[in-house]
Amino acid sequence: GIPALAEALPVLILGAALVGGAWLLRDLPATLTELRNLIGGWASAHDVTRQVDCAPWGLDKVYVIAQDGATTTPSDDPLCSWAAVSGRRYEYGLCLWNGAVALSRLLVEQQDTLRGERFAEGRTVLELGCGQALVSMVVADLFSGVRRIVATDGSRDVLLAAEANVARNLDKASADRLRLVPLAWGWFADGEHVRAVNDGEAFDVILGADITYMED
């Protein structure tokens, strides 16, 4: 009767909850995958930016570097402000590494000495693994006498993003002296092309930040 049904009701509710939970768990991986895709799609359409204020170092400028939010995510890593998202393409150059910030700071702080030496009038500069080209942009702003700056990276996707950042941060005069060129290390044709961009001559200065590392 009714008393027996009342006693059985908690068991029935628990059973229904277990069945429902099992059904949800069965579809949980697919649900999480779809949710991640939706979030990734949203992030890819929204710039994730990082500002680099050079005023404390001696250059009155703030660089605004857009990063790929679909590929990178906030990180507490002291080396990199953004880390690759697990399961997505690993284009590490789409994020701004702190080594590039450190090298930019060094260039700004030592600009008076460097202007009379390595970065004197008519010199040419090559950056390896430029990523978002912060270092090359700093060189373009600091040393107006430098004749040519060639920023290279092995990923064409990275160079496309860097091109947008160059357009965002440099005036026409500085941007005209900066070329973004693909260079995959070990590829002879790429090396010859980079050299041709510099009129077949060797570069006076070669820069690189966070381009050597040990994989776990």
Per-residue pLDDT reduced to its tens digit, 169-188: 999 999 999 999 999 988 89
What whole-number distance in Å separates Cα of residue 57 and Cα of residue 190? 35
The pTM score is 0.72
Q: What's the residue count for the chain?
A: 216
Sign of CA dihedral 190, 177, 47, 215: positive
Q: What digits encode the pLDDT tens for the residues 24-43?
A: 566 666 666 665 655 554 44
DSSP 89: -
Rounded to 10°, the helix 156-169/134-142 angle is 40
- Residue 171 DSSP label: -
Residue 46 is predicted with a pLDDT of: 45
Cα-to-chain-centroid distance, residue 195: 25
